[in-house]
């Protein structure tokens, strides 16, 4: 898995796919998995997933979609680097529910907020074993694919 990084690179296509999914699923939260080259914090592929919760406040990735994404990423020589979900009315910052549900401290947790006119993206690391600061922001840079 990816080590701790200060920057998460995403391609314009991936950013556009994530924002489009967030808008298409509105007023419910959208979710999906991000993949890229092993050992790099560079997302080159996005796998939309169904939100089993069908909720505007929480999300749960469909396990079948998760498995399909894992297999497709592996077949392409990629690894899952993290998860994206949307916040429909709040800032792009992990909620207490997001923190409690964070499965992997090596993952990037990217949030697309729809609070303003245009979707905005921010990414975070969530480390449960760091009680003083379990959430740290990671800079998102859109880079050519």
Per-residue pLDDT tens for 48-105? 999 999 999 999 999 999 999 999 999 999 999 999 999 999 999 999 999 988 989 9
Counting residues of the chain whose pLDDT is more than 70, the rounded percentage is: 95
Counting residues of the chain whose pLDDT is more than 90, the rounded percentage is: 86
Q: pLDDT band at 2, cuts 50/70/90?
A: very low
Give the model confidence (pLDDT) of 3-61 as tens digits: 445 899 999 999 999 999 999 999 999 999 999 999 999 999 999 999 999 999 999 99
User: In angstroms, rounded to a whole number, what is the distance separating the alpha carbons of residues 54 and 30?
Assistant: 9
Which residue segments constitute the domains of the chain, with CATH numbers given? 7-142 (3.40.140.10)
Kindly report the pTM of this predicted structure.
0.92
| CA 75 to the chain's CA centroid | 21
């Amino acid at each position: 898995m990816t080590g701790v990084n200060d920057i998460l690179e995403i391609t314009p296509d991936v950013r556009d796919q994530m924002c489009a999914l967030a808008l298409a699923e509105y007023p419910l939260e959208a979710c999906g998995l991000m993949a890229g080259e092993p050992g790099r914090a560079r997302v080159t592929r996005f796998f939309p997933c169904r939100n089993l919760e069908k909720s505007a406040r929480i999300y749960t990735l469909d396990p079948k979609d998760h498995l399909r994404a894992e297999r497709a990423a592996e077949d392409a020589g990629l690894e899952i680097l993290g998860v994206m979900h949307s916040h429909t009315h709040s800032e792009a910052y992990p909620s207490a529910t997001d923190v409690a549900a964070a499965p992997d401290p090596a993952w990037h947790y990217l949030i697309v907020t729809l609070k303003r006119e245009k979707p905005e993206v921010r990414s975070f690391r969530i480390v449960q074993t760091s009680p003083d600061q379990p959430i740290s922001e990671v800079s998102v840079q859109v880079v050519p694919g």
